[in-house]
Chains A and B, each alone.
Chain A
Amino acid sequence: MHKLNLAQLSKALADKSFSSVELTEHYLARIKKLDANFNSYISVTETQALAAAARADKTIAAGGSQPLCGIPLAQKDIFCTAGVRTSCGSRMLDNFIPPYNATVVEKCNDAGLVMLGKTNMDEFAMGSSNENSFYGPVRNPWAEDCVPGGSSGGSAAAVAARLAPAATGTDTGGSIRQPAALCGLTGLKPTYGRVSRYGMIAFASSLDQGGPMTRTAADAALLLQVMAGFDVKDSTSIDAPVPDYSATLNDSLDGLRLGVPKQYFGAGLHPGIARSVEYAIKEYEKLGARVSEISLPHSHLAVPAYYVIAPAECSTNLSRFDGVRYGHRCEHPKDLHDMYTRTRGEGFGDEVKRRILVGTYALSAGYYDAYYRKAQQIRRLIKQDFVQAFAAVDMIIGPTSPSPAFKLGEKTSDPVTMYLEDIYTIASNLAGLPAISVPTGMVDEKPVGLQLTGNYMQEGALLNAAHMYQQATDWHQHCAPISEEHS
């Protein structure tokens, strides 16, 4: 059962080949048997999952159920789940049981998806290796001594090890796309505002965006269909109808104008990944795409601007964790000041503290213009690069990450080296553009991804381009060795 994709599962459930309860039991058994190797789940919600599966079976039996009804799903532990601990990978929220559901969770539940549990992640989504989790690192199913990427590393590992058919993720600077690339998955970061941020614990509010992490582009289309849409509870939600993403998957790519940014193939890119992306570009030409070189002249400033904007927003957002209303509180505070500083000192890990400090510095009196205002100006220059590029091309193609999965501990001692993992993904967050990572080969026996970036609201076109590539190639069908194991 764990070999089937979402469309196949949907059909099998409709045909009564097996029930949602049987399917859910199968996945729960796999998690029990195998997840000790990967640590991809922080919480497994067995009781709730089986109850939801039983409800889904009734809905399916009654007829007229939605396409994903009865299919198990893993939720990143950043989405609030009513009555189920939502830790965000942090000691600060180790005891936090939200009184409400995130809109994404609500939508998934309404569609009949069965939540298996909450997946591991870098603390407050800050990281590119999943080594910043209070619950320990996640291991890559393709190579257990390697990281799965981050911050949605648990979601990526769970899907790659076939411990969930699909998962949700969030992406502030590459946190869906980079782990998708490192684990051989398809991962889509939608346009900023396409998926509601309500109940998604905030890291950098002007950059954060939820999206699907799946085996194929067709699966991503099905899951995005459920996740996307206007939400009055998110003040930055885009009020536009959600198109039928599956309906356009097979559209011809004849005449598609693909732009290749010359800045994305310079020093720092693993030559094996460069070759894999060049191979992908040739495949797209065979599919009818017209390829041309483009320039994104400010792309080298994306990482520097991001490491002002994201920490600034993080320091503001995380000021809410004060030990008063929910979450961790230190023992025996001697006064209010002691309670704040010790609660936060104990509750946050090293990387979160670093970013709070950088953000506080950038926003402090005397430094605001030199850092925050400057970064916001550069953000506009980066957006203008894309606006200019999209006047000449429909889509931009390049690598997702500069290297394949690296060893656990390899980059933890130097934050700046770790930050450069997201060198190709950050710009689309700054500009608010949709982008997708698609498996495109193996380097050092580990999967690597190509990234397609589209214009605003062009998720359908990205999924179409990714799907057509997956019809012509089979990289997305390569499985991590462990995923073949039966349970």
Chain B
Amino acid sequence: MSVSRSDIEKIAELARLRLEEHTLAEVTQSITDILALVDQMQAVDTKDIEPMANPQDATQRLRADVVTEPNQRAAFQAIAPAVEAGLYLVPKVIE
């Protein structure tokens, strides 16, 4: 399946990824090439085959619902780009 430049722009927006204008043609071409590789899958009949998410079909292990971790907010926020009074700062969202 080939993708258009506008498809790429739409996907990039969904992925919150700014692409430089001058790279769009090349990106579109390489994604088209990758999808052509991937499309080899379509030649195979996979009707009634159960999709496999884990190599050993393991399911998530659950733990008891009890507090086990101490609060490390100060340590975690020490590496944040902008914090104030224990909160993460981002540009204004609501006018």
A452 to B61, CA, bound (A): 31
Asked if A218 CB lies within 8 Å of chain B CBs, one says no
Q: Is the CB of A371 within 8 A of B38?
A: yes
Q: Is the CB of A324 within 8 A of B88?
A: yes
CB distance from B43 to the nearest CB of A (A): 9
Q: How large is the interface on A (under 10, 10 to 19, 20 to 34, 35 or more residues)?
A: 35 or more
Asked if B51 CB lies within 8 Å of chain A CBs, one says yes
Q: Mark A315-353, 1 if CB is under 8 A from B, else 0.
A: 100010011111101000111111111101110101001
Q: Is the CB of A358 within 8 A of B31?
A: yes
A315 to B7, CA, bound (A): 17
Q: Is the CB of A353 within 8 A of B90?
A: no
| B residues near A271, Cβ cutoff 8 Å | none
Asked if B71 CB lies within 8 Å of chain A CBs, one says no
Q: Is the CB of B14 within 8 A of A336?
A: no
CB distance from A105 to the nearest CB of B (A): 17
Q: Is the CB of A415 within 8 A of B15?
A: no
| B residues near A236, Cβ cutoff 8 Å | 54, 58
Q: Told that A232-B63, A344-B17, A433-B55 touch, could you supply 16 new A-B pairs with CB distance under 8 A?
A: A97-B79, A99-B76, A236-B54, A304-B41, A325-B76, A335-B91, A344-B16, A345-B18, A364-B11, A377-B52, A378-B44, A380-B49, A380-B51, A381-B49, A432-B56, A456-B56
Partner of B17, one of A95, A333, A341, A456: A341
Q: Is the CB of A353 within 8 A of B17?
A: yes
Q: Is the CB of B18 within 8 A of A358?
A: no
| B residues near A308, Cβ cutoff 8 Å | 38, 41
Q: Is the CB of A381 within 8 A of B46?
A: yes
Partner of B75, one of A99, A333, A353, A358: A99
21 contacts between A and B (CB under 8 A): A97-B79, A99-B79, A193-B55, A206-B54, A298-B44, A304-B38, A307-B34, A324-B90, A325-B79, A326-B79, A326-B81, A339-B90, A354-B31, A358-B38, A370-B42, A377-B51, A379-B51, A381-B49, A383-B55, A414-B33, A416-B33
| B residues near A381, Cβ cutoff 8 Å | 44, 46, 49
Of B11, B78, B92, chain A has the most CB atoms within 10 Å of the CB of B11
| A residues near B31, Cβ cutoff 8 Å | 354, 357-358, 361
Q: Is the CB of B80 within 8 A of A326?
A: yes
Q: Is the CB of A329 within 8 A of B82?
A: yes
A338 to B11, CA, bound (A): 16
Asked if B85 CB lies within 8 Å of chain A CBs, one says no
Nearest chain B residue, comparing its CB with the CB of A333: B91
| A residues near B40, Cβ cutoff 8 Å | 300-301, 304
A432 to B93, CA, bound (A): 44
CB distance from B76 to the nearest CB of A (A): 6
CB distance from B60 to the nearest CB of A (A): 5
Q: Is the CB of B56 within 8 A of A356?
A: no
Asked if B50 CB lies within 8 Å of chain A CBs, one says yes
Asked if A458 CB lies within 8 Å of chain B CBs, one says no
Partner of B38, one of A238, A307, A338: A307
A236-254 with Cβ < 8 A to chain B: 236, 238
Asked if B35 CB lies within 8 Å of chain A CBs, one says yes
Asked if A436 CB lies within 8 Å of chain B CBs, one says no
CB distance from B59 to the nearest CB of A (A): 10
| A residues near B13, Cβ cutoff 8 Å | 341
B1-41 with Cβ < 8 A to chain A: 3, 7-8, 11-20, 23, 27, 30-31, 33-41
Q: Is the CB of B17 within 8 A of A416?
A: no
Q: Is the CB of A378 within 8 A of B79?
A: no
Partner of B37, one of A303, A324, A339, A376: A303
| B residues near A456, Cβ cutoff 8 Å | 56
Q: Is the CB of A416 within 8 A of B50?
A: no
| B residues near A376, Cβ cutoff 8 Å | 51-53
7 closest A-B pairs by CB: A432-B55, A345-B18, A376-B51, A377-B46, A329-B81, A380-B52, A341-B18
